[in-house]
Amino acid sequence: MSTKQHKTTYLRDYTPPPYLVTTVDLRFELDETATLVRSRLQMQRNKEAKGEGGRLELNGEDLQLKSVRLDGRELTAGQFACAGGILTLTHVPDRFILEIETIINPGANTALEGLYLSGGNFCTQCEAEGFRRITCFSDRPDVMAEFTTTIIADAQRYPVLLANGNMVARGEMENGRHFATWHDPHKKPCYLFALVAGDLVHIEDHFRCRSGRDVVLRIFVEKRNRDKCAHAMESLKKAMRWDEEVFGLEYDLDIFMIVAVDDFNMGAMENKGLNVFNSKFVLARPETATDSDYEGIEGVIAHEYFHNWTGDRVTCRDWFQLSLKEGLTVFRDQEFSADMTSRPVQRIRDVQVIRNFQFREDAGPMAHPVRPESYIEINNFYTLTVYDKGAEVVRMLHTLLGAAGFRRGMDLYFARHDGQAVTCDDFVAALADANGFAAGQFKLWYGQAGTPELEVHGEYDAGRQEYRLTVSQTTPPTPGQQKKEPLLIPVAVGLLDSRGRDLPLRLAGNHEDAAETTKILRLRRQQETFVLQDVPERPVLSFLRNFSAPVKVGLDRPDEELAFLMARDPDAFNRWDAGQQLALKYLLQQISLSRQGKTATVPDLFISSFRRVLLDEKADPAFLALALNLPLESWIGQQMETVDPLAIFAVRQLFRRQLRRQLRDE
């Protein structure tokens, strides 16, 4: 069958699948150049689909169609059609069994989608639309089925045969072959199908679930890498325990497997019960791995495991909803890493990705919403906007609802939608319904592209002991979206006294009993003024604590105020950010002078401020390492109308040399 023709797909055109698949039985006879795939599909008419039944269209690409049987009867060439990557049957009943035989060539599969050879091992990658390269199927995430997979291969060359679920049978066959049968009792879309066959070894451990069940844990690698898996195994057990404790989510199969291969093209993939990784995200030895390597492995292992519920048990209705699983799971892995390491350090690293890279995506010609409206090639939408900005959108919900409210919403989300393919709106609705939260305006974050920009102005009235904070929001036009609506933006603020201590905050019109030291202001309109009462002295504003929303902030501060916040702000993120703002301010000033042919210098306040941070004996060394780093060239360039890479590099290097020289003895 030929390859599909590219065309634009629109969210507005979504319709439910006319037919559903209830069970899938797959049989693979593996061969490097001619693998035979037999599929047996139990199918039925979808009651939610509109129109008359009878016409069935299945996706199939770069495969040889050998036979098609409908309820045991082999169809002739005139009873089906193959064109443009689609197998069409025009007369099917409401319930039927469809059997299809295809032949595929894994050795020639350079697309690395579907079934292919990787370093002598058979491996699959089916997200987003790779399953159609294995057999003809309704290759869309809202078709969820129960899979049984039998793999047959040469026993000497491919002693390990793996697929999703639990192994239910294995044995020897004639001609030196053997087989293994795997059954996954949980419905899943075909993009989560996985098969691995090869000459692999494994390490094994066990995990006792909170219900008392024992789960077998195995990590499969090539022989030379067996001694590099211990950290990955410990990371997996930490992730499983954390998901039980924080979200109440328990693993649901008898075995969980990870396969690490050198030539895997997607980095990592959350196939149900059989995660496949590129080796660099699994393997580590103390002799060669850095702290960052260990933390990175821990985070990626956790991310893919967390998909078991946020992505596998509850999946996307369509690929426009990709952030439903990825944004939510990135948020979950960020929270896990924050609990395993340092919460402020993890937050700073997350924000560095947003500011240095995702903001650029928002400002460029490819700007798109967290939930895009259209695509030509879905693989192009595995972006920082969908993943990392999507995680920030989830984090804002967590901020608005609080940890307990967010957990209530997640519990309702799983209770409503376990085993379903749903939308971002369904996710927000569950969190809103569990908390009595009006989410209509908030949902604009999913459909509106671009980075909001806040302008901030504060005034202190000593006579009334009030601090008036005026915040306005605008979002610049983006391709296809010239007009922007005001968003609901959670703005976390604090006020500091002259010694850097948090002042209790009382918002005018808010009659809560307890005064908080960090207040979550809800900015809803284009401009709003918030009045904080009982402020005994002129305060210093600590704005957007913990980076409570993915926005840019326009707030002109004196250098001394930034230095004060850098040294004193109780909010660790804002302490780091004040240092970044001070450094950025001086860097831009000196870059401007350098471009005018003048000599760039490093101000004394810059050095003394960084010295004060370095000498803080209570500071986390990991935080210090980040606090002493200058803003990246990319972030500096985003602040300039005309980017001058040479000037940016030269002045940044000057500041680095001066820091090193002045602080060497500290």
Active site annotation includes 174: no
List the beta strands (DSSP E) in 270-371.
Answer: 274-278, 315-316
C-alpha 39/C-alpha 408 separation (Å) is 41
Closest CA to 389 of 366, 429, 362: 362
C-alpha 256/C-alpha 216 separation (Å) is 6
Closest CA to 235 of 219, 253, 255: 219
Return the half-sphere exposure (C-beta side, CA atoms, 13 A cut-off) of residue 256.
26
DSSP per-residue letters across 409-437? HHHHHHHHHTT-EE-HHHHHHHHHHHHT-
Closest CA to 1 of 90, 76, 84, 57: 84
Strands 421-422 and 114-118: unpaired
C-alpha 353/C-alpha 294 separation (Å) is 19
Residue with tokens 């390492």: 625
Catalytic residue among 101, 113, 295, 304: 304
DSSP per-residue letters across 22-81? EEEEEEEE--SS-EEEEEEEEEEE-TT--S----EEEE--S-EEEEEEETTEEPPGGG-E
Closest CA to 296 of 285, 284, 287: 284
Helix, coil or strand: residue 328: helix
C-alpha 491/C-alpha 543 separation (Å) is 8
DSSP per-residue letters across 155-179? TTT--EEEESSEEEEEEE-GGGEEE
C-alpha 113/C-alpha 134 separation (Å) is 9
C-alpha 256/C-alpha 181 separation (Å) is 16
Closest CA to 586 of 602, 568, 573: 602
Pair 430, 412: CB distance under 8 Å: yes
By CB neighbour count within 10 A (0-12 exposed, 13-18 middle, 19+ buried), where does 520 fall? middle
Strands 255-261 and 274-278: parallel
Helix (H) or strand (E) holding 189: strand 177-189
C-alpha 179/C-alpha 245 separation (Å) is 38
Residue 38's identity, in one-letter code, is: R
By CB neighbour count within 10 A (0-12 exposed, 13-18 middle, 19+ buried), where does 497 fall? middle
Task: Name 538's Cβ contacts closer than 8 Å, sequence gap at least 6.
Answer: 460, 462
Task: Name 224's Cβ contacts closer than 8 Å, sequence gap at least 6.
Answer: none
Sheet holding 274-278, edge to edge: 201-208, 214-221, 255-261, 274-278, 268-269
Strands 177-189 and 166-172: antiparallel
Helix, coil or strand: residue 638: helix
**Torsion over CA: 271, 273, 274, 275 (sign):** positive
Active site positions, annotated: 304
